[in-house]
Amino acid sequence: MSKRTRYAILLAGFLFFITISPLVVLYVRGIVFDFTTRQFVKTGILAVVSEPKAVVVLLDDKQARTGSGDVKFLRPGPYMVTLQKSGYQNWSKKLFINPGEVTWVNAMNNKVYLLFENPQQKTVAENVSDFYSNESSLVYILGKTLIMSPLGKAEESQNYVLPKTANTIVASPNGKSFVFTEHPTKTAVHAMVFNSETRTITDISGMFSTQPRFEFSTTGQLYAQENNTLYLIETALGKKNPVLSGIKAFSFQKNNLYYIQENSQGVELLYTSLPVSEGQTLVAGLPSFSTGEIIISFERQAFLLLDKTLYKVSSTLEKMGDNVSAWNFNKDESTLTFFHGGELNYYNPFNNSIAFVSRTSQSLTSVTTNINVNYSFYIRDNKATALDLDTRDHQNEYILYSGANLQKFIVNKNATRGFVLDGGVLKEIKIR
The CATH number of the domain where 94 resides is what? 2.60.40
The stretches in the chain having pLDDT less than 50 are 14, 16-17, 21-29
Give the pLDDT confidence score for residue 28 in this predicted structure: 45
Q: Judging by DSSP bridges, how do beta strands 353-359 and 343-348 pair with one another?
A: antiparallel
The Cα–Cα gap between 242 and 4 comes to 110
Q: Are 17 and 54 found together in one domain?
A: no
Closest CA to 421 of 180, 191, 169, 214: 169
SS3 of residue 207 by DSSP: helix
Give the pLDDT confidence score for residue 54 in this predicted structure: 95
Number of compact structural domains in the chain: 2
Q: Are 66 and 102 found together in one domain?
A: yes
Q: Give the burial class of 133: count Cβ atoms within 10 A of its Cβ; 0-12 exposed, 13-18 middle, 19 or more buried.
A: buried
Q: Are 28 and 47 found together in one domain?
A: no
Domain boundary among 97, 113, 129: 113
Q: Are 26 and 53 found together in one domain?
A: no
The Cα–Cα gap between 412 and 372 comes to 12
Q: Are 47 and 108 found together in one domain?
A: yes
In a domain, 257, yes or no: no
CA distances from 393 to 77, 375, 388, 390 (A): 14, 15, 11, 7
SS3 of residue 151 by DSSP: coil
In a domain, 327, yes or no: no
Q: Are 48 and 22 found together in one domain?
A: no
> Does the global pTM surpass 0.85?
yes
In a domain, 87, yes or no: yes
In a domain, 96, yes or no: yes
Which segments within 55-101 are labelled E, that is strand? 56-59, 62-66, 69-74, 77-84, 91-97
In a domain, 245, yes or no: no
Q: How far is CA 51 from the centre of its chain?
A: 18
Residue 7's domain spans which residues? 3-32
Rg for the chain (alpha carbons), in Å?
29
Q: Are 69 and 24 found together in one domain?
A: no
In a domain, 11, yes or no: yes
Q: Are 24 and 50 found together in one domain?
A: no
What are 301-349's pLDDT values in tens digits? 999 999 999 999 988 899 999 999 999 999 888 999 999 999 999 998 8
The Cα–Cα gap between 62 and 81 comes to 9
Q: Are 65 and 101 found together in one domain?
A: yes
In a domain, 394, yes or no: no
What are the residues whose beta carbons fall under 8 Å from the beta carbon of 238, sequence distance 6 or more?
A: 202, 204, 207
Q: How far is CA 250 from the centre of its chain?
A: 23
In a domain, 107, yes or no: yes
Alpha helix positions (H), 85-142: none
Q: Are 8 and 69 found together in one domain?
A: no
The Cα–Cα gap between 393 and 404 comes to 32
Q: Are 47 and 66 found together in one domain?
A: yes
